[in-house]
Every structure is written in C-alpha cells, then in structure tokens.
Structure 1
Amino acid sequence: MNLQEKIKSWAEKKYLFVIRREEDFSVISSLSITKLKVGLIMILFFMVCFAISLVLSKSLLASWFDPTFQESENTKKIYALSETIDSLMLEVEAKDRYVDNIQRIISGEALGDTSSAGVPVPRRMDSLEKKNLKPDLFVAGEATQKIVEEFESMAPDERSFERISVSSFTDNYFFPPIKGVVTGGFKPSENHFGLDIVSEENEPVKSVADGTVIISHWTLETGYVIGIQHSNELISVYKHNSVLLKSEGEPVSGGEVISVIGNTGEQTTGQHLHFELWYKGNPLNPQEFITFD
C-alpha cells in the first residue's frame, strides 16, 4: 500500500459515537464521523473564534487588547482641546477688538476693525474683478471728498446748497434700495438730508446704481453706514444698517445687496433705513428719482 492510499484510508476511517442509557445500555443516539470531518470542524471552529476575537478586540475589548487604543483616544482628546482653545482665542480677540473700538469711540479716535461687532470681514478682490473695475469710479473728486467729510462732521448750512433740477438725471435709472413705507421726508431745513424708510425685519438693502464703496464703517450717531460713489459725482448713503456686506474699495452693481436693514446708532428710533442722495456736494430728494412703495 503506497502513501496516497494510506492517507486516503486514514482520512476515510470512520468512528462511531454512541450515546446509551445507563440503566439498560440501550442506544439513545449515534453519530458516525471520519477524521477528515473532524479536522474540517476544528478548522471552522478556530476560524469562527478568531473572527469573534478580532471583532471584540476592535470594539468592546479594544481597551484591553488594542495597544494603540489609548494613544488614539488621547489624540482625539488633544485635537478636541486644540479646537476649543482656538475658538476661545478667536472669541477673546473679537472681544478685545470690540472693547478697543468702544474705547476709540469714547476717545474720538478713528474706528479699527469692526468685524467683531457683526460686520463680515471684507473679502479681497481677485484679479478679474480688478480688471473689470471702472477707473473713473475710484477718482475721488473734490465733491466726493466733501461728502466724506460731511459724514464725519456737522452738516453744512442749507443756504450753501445749490438747487439741482430733476432733468440732471433724466438718463439715469435707479434701483430702489428697499421697498417700504417712507416715514420721514426730505427736510434740509431740519438737517434731515434723506428719507427714512420702514420695511420688514432683515430686509436686504440694495445699491441704487453701479459704483464703488467709499464708506463702510460704524459711527456712534448713525450706526453701520455704507456710502457708494456713482458716476458723475453722485453718491448714495445708507445708514442704521444691522450688517454691512461690502467694504471700502469694492465695486457694486445696481440692485446688488450691500447691507441689511437695522436699528443701529443713537439717532435711530426704530428699525428703518435712512437713505440719502448727494450730487456734487448737494443733497437731493430721493423721492424725485425713486419709488419706494
């Protein structure tokens, strides 16, 4: 008998397992099995045990069997603490800027970064935007400088204003900055050089025409203010906003959202938009050019 026949004979050799009663040795059950089946059953049993052990070592018993478990947990905790510290540092810096701005306002100095008070940080213009800018919109003429100085000081005497006729802007189309009810009219004699427009809460404010932002900051009297220089030395001003969405130097299109209506500044008595139009240093009545309802 060669080796192959011996192995075959060994694998196919059968064993009989019999279960008998103790009293009379009668057969209850019997099982016939070969050595090959016994080997396969043992291999399957060890594979199942190994799979169960592997799953347990990565889940319920990971802290006992996985040598990298504790290191991974510590890494997660360190990362979470790092994120918390970064958030706290940003909050502290924002509060420091806010306190610094308050101190500057009290002392009468120029404002610093107001992003911590609710104004988004101005984004940088990319090269394509810079190419599309109209050069003449960035030229601050004498009239423009006069307007900028106007918002930082007392308004000039009404007698110094020249009368501007409606025909000066017959070729211009203006978008309404906001839809609402006009509650305060244009009264230069009472130093009210614009309109007060009441609208819904969080209503977006839009630019009346194409132009460039020349003012975008916060003042004690008028809250968040944004001013836009348009062509022909025309300037539009939007006061008492809750949020400013554009920064100085950014180009805007007619009808583009630039801020959100609000109730900021000491001179406001409720949520509304104070809107002004200036032409060559002179105030205009916006209702002669724009419909607000």
Structure 2
Amino acid sequence: MKYKIKKIFRSRFLFVIRKEEDFAVLNSFSVTATKILLLGILFLIISFGISLILAKTFLKSWFDPAFSSAESTELFINLSDRVDSLALEVVKKDAYIQNIQRIIGGGEIEDEMAQAFSDTAGFEIGMAKPELERFQPSQGSQSIIQEMSGLSLEGNVQSRSPSTLMSSTYFFTPIKGIVLAIFDPQQNHFGVDVVAKENEAVKSILDGTVIFSSWTLETGYVLAIQHSNELISIYKHNSVILKYVGDVVRSGEIISIIGNTGELSSGPHLHFELWYQGSPLNPQEFISFD
C-alpha cells in the first residue's frame, strides 16, 4: 500500500495543447501528482484568504453576525429616541388643542390652564412653508384667552382702522351670502352670521396655518386659522371640515362646508370671526359678503 502511494506521487502527467483543426501540438508540459497537490493546497489557502478579507470588509454585512446585531441595536436605539420625541410632541399638541377648544367654546380657563396654554402654544404645528408664518403667539395673541372666555371686553374692544394695518391686505371672501347677524361685542357676538346656499364651500380669507379643527358642543364643527401679523380667522357651525391642525392653506382655498351644527345654531349659516392681537374685529369693515 505504501509502495502504491509513493508510485502515485512520483507519477508524471503530460498535458498537451493541440489545435482543433489539424491536432498540431501548440504546447505541452508535464507535472507530478505532488505538484498538483501543492497547487491545490495553495489555491485553497488563497481562496480562504480572499474570502476572509471580503468577509471583514465589503461583505461584512452579509457574513459577520456581530455587524448585523450592532446595526439592529443602533436602529432600535434611534427608533426609541424618535418614539420618545413623537410621544412628547403628541402630548404638547393634545394640550394645545384642548386649550384652543376651551377658548373657542367659551369655557372658563383657570390659571393653570392659562399657564399650560402659554407653555404649549410655542409648539409648532406642522411644517409650514417658509414663506408663511408659523403660529408663534405673542403677548397680544395670548390675550385671546381672556377675550374669548366670556370676560369683560370693556376698554379692550376697539375698532381697528384698515389704514393702520390691513389697508394693503386683500381678504378673500369666505362665503357669499346675506349677513343676518352683525358684529356686536356688547351682546357677546364677536363675528357675523352669513346665510348662503346649502352645501356652499367656505374658503380661507388669507394664507395661513390651521391651529384648530374640531367639534364643540355649542358651535359644532369649528376651524381656526392663524395668519401673519397675529391675525386669526374662525369659522363655526360647519357641516364638514376639510382641513386639519397643521395644514397650510392658501387664500381662497376651500376649508369646510357650510352647516347647521352646534347648540347655538338655528339654521344653516357660517359664523365668521376675525381676531387681531386678542381683540375681535368687525369682519364687514374688511370683507364684503354680498
């Protein structure tokens, strides 16, 4: 047996390369079994080395379990951080919406709630386009809490002349119709009631960002939009709301449908209010509803 193994390793093999046409010899060489074995071992070593290098560099994500585990851990940590941030923003947004709902619904606001409004109002709702101001309440805007909470308006409700601020501002008519109830702050009526056709579309008066879009018991479906220069427009008693908090709207864009919702509504109409720096304005001084 030992002799046969030695004989195999000492055997020589001749490799001849010929032309296919005439079988003429182009080249030939002879090798022993030992050389073939050594070449095979060398090939295996080189292949293993190249595979090891690739597994540690270019193909690391495919072959290295530690890499996949580390990548998954990093992704999990990033997602956890994002979830925590989103949860915090949701809490801020919910508190902000509750405060706005109390304001528009005319409910009583305690000192703690007023402080909460001040803390949460700085939360930017949505990512408005750069050319539009996001809702950044100043001291004037925050006074809307007292104005719309049913507190006394004496000495605070003033007629604002268009020449002082909005003489160059063009207001889009929210809806065409007949004004049945005019602006009368002494009777706690801080806007106008406009009667129009059934299912008539309500439009935004200016570019802005929606800061309130919800249901209240007294005024039904309500929409409030923050415009530039601390101006807020409010649309009440809608049947359908088409925009939501954080949405950026353009002047003349449809935002809701006229309706008859809420306990204070006695028929299909739009109750429209205009507030500037916490004080109500007479919409008919700036907008023609005819």
TM-score scaled to structure 1, two decimals? 0.53
Contact 2:203 2:252 in 1 (8 A): yes
Aligned-pair identity in percent equals: 56
- 1:183-212 superposed Cα distances (whole Å, 9 cap, x missing partner): 001111111111000001111100000011
Contact 2:147 2:153 in 1 (8 A): no
Task: For residue 175 of structure 1, give the secondary structure of its aligned residue in structure 2.
Answer: coil
The structure-2 alpha-carbon separation of the partners of 1:261 and 1:158, relative to structure 1 and needing over 3 Å to count, comes to farther
The structure-2 alpha-carbon separation of the partners of 1:287 and 1:131, relative to structure 1 and needing over 3 Å to count, comes to closer
2-side partners of 1:222 and 1:131: how far apart? 27
Counterpart amino acid of residue 263 in structure 2: E
Unpaired segments of 5 or more residues in structure 1? 1-104, 111-128
Contact 1:242 1:261 in 2 (8 A): yes
Q: Counterpart in 1 of 2:155?
A: 159
Unpaired segments of 5 or more residues in structure 2? 1-101, 108-125
Q: Counterpart in 2 of 1:10?
A: none
Contact 1:133 1:251 in 2 (8 A): no
Q: CA deviation at 1:250?
A: 1.1
User: Are 1:231 and 2:228 an aligned pair?
Assistant: yes
1-side partners of 2:289 and 2:130: how far apart? 29
Of 271, 274, 279, the match for 1:274: 271
2-side partners of 1:242 and 1:173: how far apart? 27
Count of aligned residue pairs for this structure pair: 167
Q: CA deviation at 1:164?
A: 1.4
* Greater share of helix: 1
The structure-2 alpha-carbon separation of the partners of 1:196 and 1:281, relative to structure 1 and needing over 3 Å to count, comes to same
User: Are 1:206 and 2:203 an aligned pair?
Assistant: yes
Q: Counterpart in 1 of 2:65?
A: none
Please list, as runs of the form range in 1=range in 2, the aligned pairs for 1:136-215 lying within 5 A after superposition: 136-147=133-144, 150-151=147-148, 153-167=149-163, 168-215=165-212
2-side partners of 1:207 and 1:170: how far apart? 19
Contact 1:239 1:275 in 2 (8 A): yes
Q: Superposition RMSD on alpha carbons, in Å?
A: 2.4
User: Are 1:257 and 2:235 an aligned pair?
Assistant: no
Task: For residue 209 of structure 2, give the secondary structure of its aligned residue in structure 1.
Answer: strand
User: Are 1:286 and 2:283 an aligned pair?
Assistant: yes
